Structure 1
């Protein structure tokens, strides 16, 4: 299910979407949803009762990939064809005191937004409206000093810079950065000292 509906787009353009545009708008909404999910590294659309196969590397902790962590609920866990019930789930990982071994673990789970947040709906609609405004094969247009940039037909179906900025809070967070310090005397970065 896309992040927004044809009616959401119609409300933002201030007119009903014409019957001949409905198929195109619906396809754009699906495309934008896929691009947003790929850019953010997580599934936004609600998936219910689906199986995820995870491959533990020994130890007691079995992390769940970030892609599935949006409102994740786990309904069943199986390993080697047997139901596993002696685990705890903290929203990001399954923990088992007995350890997970190294054979595949299948979890049955549901994840994603039941209803897309307003900001995601707005992003999806704005991208679709932008795509509808571009002629096929045109990447960008400019009015002052008339400028048109042509590109491949599908290149216009990308997320704009403004959309990428709006999506930052939803984006997968990496490991972050670490500070490296070299042993020895501290460097004085102010330059030579004149007395």
Structure 2
């Protein structure tokens, strides 16, 4: 799904679309730019509602993926324990920062989580970055990349489209980028877990 529309690009261009060919290029560039932004930020900027996924709990806790934020709201958790499924009460689990703690869970088990998370709308900075990249790509006409005559070879600068996201776009998106990192988990004693925290983070 594109993070901006053709109308968004046209408003920033300050002129109407020249013809159907340019309209098609804008549509394709919007999809491409949105894909690059999604990969760079490691999020789809979409609203996910009541989706179900599985997690493996080790020693009563699991680190939640950055893609589940912001606005994570867990509605239910089902624990697989001794070949039986059991729905946990809200007193039996808590999310602290980005770690899910589960009381009385076996040392290693699987849980099913139903939750909602994500963005109600694409952030303005993300839309602006996508539009600016599309306009930048539109300004470069496709042409000859390299010419060779005998021993003489001339290679022209790569087009803006082939270079991916610009440094300016990356700077605009920096606050939305989810950082990849290695995480070490250790057992946290139950008395230290603030069980009165909200189930929404």
Question: For 2:24 and 2:97, how far apart are their aligned partners in 1?
Answer: 38
Is residue 37–residue 43 contact of structure 1 (8 Å, CA) maintained in 2? yes
Partner of 2:48: 47
Matched, 1:155 2:156: no
Of residues 77, 81, 88, the one that matches 1:84 is 88
For residue 133 of structure 1, what is the aligned residue in structure 2?
139
Q: Provide the residue aligned with 1:6 in structure 2.
A: 6
TM-aligned CA deviation for residue 74 of structure 1: 1.9
The answer for the alignment partner of 2:26 in structure 1 is 25
Q: Give unpaired runs (5+ residues) of structure 2.
A: 146-154, 183-201
Secondary structure, aligned partner of 1:51: strand
TM score, norm. by length of structure 2: 0.68
Q: Quote the residue 1:67 is aligned against.
A: 67
Please give the alpha-carbon distance, in whole angstroms, between the structure 1 residues aligned to 2:126 and 2:144: 26
Q: Greater CA deviation, 114-123 or 90-99?
A: 90-99
Q: Is the 8 A contact 2:137 2:161 kept in 1?
A: no
More strand by share: 2
Counterparts of 2:28 and 2:73, CA distance in 1: 29
RCO comparison, higher one (Cα < 8 Å, 6+): 2
Mapped to 2, the partners of 1:60 and 1:118 lie a distance apart of 39
- How far 1:25 sits from its partner (Å)? 2.3
Range with bigger deviation, 124-133 or 44-53: 44-53
Q: Is 1:104 aligned with 2:120? A: no
8 Å CA contact 2:54, 2:110 repeated in 1: yes
Distance change >3 Å, CA 96–CA 88, structure 1 → 2: same
Structure-2 change in CA distance of 1:79 and 1:16 (3 Å): farther
Worse overlay, 64-73 or 98-107: 98-107
TM-score (norm 1): 0.69
Query: For the residues of structure 2 that align with 1:137 and 1:84, how far apart are their CA atoms?
Result: 62
SS of equivalent residue, structure 1 residue 78:
strand
Q: Judge which range, 94-103 or 121-130, deviates more.
A: 94-103
RMSD of aligned alpha carbons: 3.0
